[in-house]
Amino acid sequence: MQELLTTLLATLQSLTLLLAAQGISVPQSTTQLSPANTASTQQVQQPIPPTQDLNTINKAKSDAIINVVCISGNSKLRSGVASGVIISPDGLVLINAHIAQYMLLEQLSDIAMQCTLRSGSPAKPAYKAKVIYINPNWINTNASQITSDEQYGTGEHDYALLQITSSIKPNGTLPKRFTYIEPSTESVVSYINTPVLIRSYPAEFLGSTITMRSLYPVATITPLLAIKTFSKDSAHATPDLLELGGSIVAQGGSSGGAVINSQGKLLGIIVTSSRKDTTAERELNAISTEHINNSMEADIGVDLNQLINLPKSIKSNITADSLLNSVNRLVNIINK
């Protein structure tokens, strides 16, 4: 384990640019999205169930937010740092596809890439995990950017699922039940203009050594300002993208971080941010669990909550062919 940490630190220290400043973790949104119809969504809003204190939720759910570090040994690929959310007691993790693609390369190819899940405050190596699902629509649209210096996207379909498989510690065992955040099944429109909790591992303004040795999670409470849609048909608009304004978490490294409601449920994961000099000026966005549910159901016939309740063996096998096709496409682009 010590040799692994030494290797990771040496690799990171040799990088001339910050890990998170490369754009991997929070890609810029470049497509204009149609705003959701505010009037119609307000008409169907349901009363919010009894709430909890968001600071209390932050403490109770802190271990459900993890940090992902991927170290590249390939000159065409960059190293990256991101966040993720444990969403089930058996260790299912929801992250962005734009970081999961590197984990997929580590898992299913001979391209040099080493990814580790870290936990705690500061973040320490904790788990190894395997990709069990990455949305193929995202791969089809964005795979060509994998060797680019900076990646861009709208956030549409930008999600993936990992299964924690083992402890990093020698002879370490996994928890019988992980601390997790259950995805919300409510319509997110109920939460417009209400406070939500955001928690992640921002790292954009840190050097590589600090990122490895002293990276701390950050949490903030902010209102959900608006909801946007990826649909081009206003009559069938879906609540896909949560607009969260600017805050300290609007940094590289935060993508995949959790947006949590006052019931302690997951409303979405951070996906894009505009590029401004200060975090206060930026516009942070998250894809909603509704978008993820709709996208998954259209692709594999089950949504996120249904997948959570399946046995591990079925979860791992349900998208095997899709994963192989995705990694082959990525490898072909890298080898061009």
pLDDT tens-digit map of 139-181? 999 988 898 877 778 899 999 999 999 999 888 889 999 999 9
Residue 78 near residue 114, CB atoms below 8 Å: no
Residues of the chain with pLDDT under 70: 1-51, 205-207
Tokens standing for residue 126: 């904790």
* pLDDT at res. 48: 53
Give exposure, 266-281, as e/b (b: 16+ Cβ within 10 Å). Answer: bbbbbbbbeeeeebee
Cis peptide upstream of residue 183 (ω within 30 degrees of 0): no
pLDDT on residue 205: 65
> In this structure, how many other beta carbons lie within 10 angstroms of the beta carbon of residue 230?
19
**What is the distance between the alpha carbons of residues 306 and 45, in angstroms, rounded to a whole number?**
24
Topology of the domain comprising 27-334 = Thrombin, subunit H (2.40.10)
Q: What is the pTM of this model?
A: 0.83
The residues near 68 (Cβ < 8 Å, ≥ 6 apart) are 80, 81, 82, 83, 84, 95, 99, 103, 115, 116, 117, 118, 256
Tokens of 220: 């903030």
Q: What is the structure's pLDDT at 23? A: 33
What pLDDT is stored for residue 27 in this prediction? 34
Cβ contact 271:158 at 8 Å:
yes
CA 325 to chain centre: 22
Q: In whole angstroms, what is the distance from residue 94 CA to residue 75 CA? A: 28
What is the residue extent of each domain of the chain?
27-334
Q: How many CA atoms lie within 13 A of 25 on its CB side?
A: 30
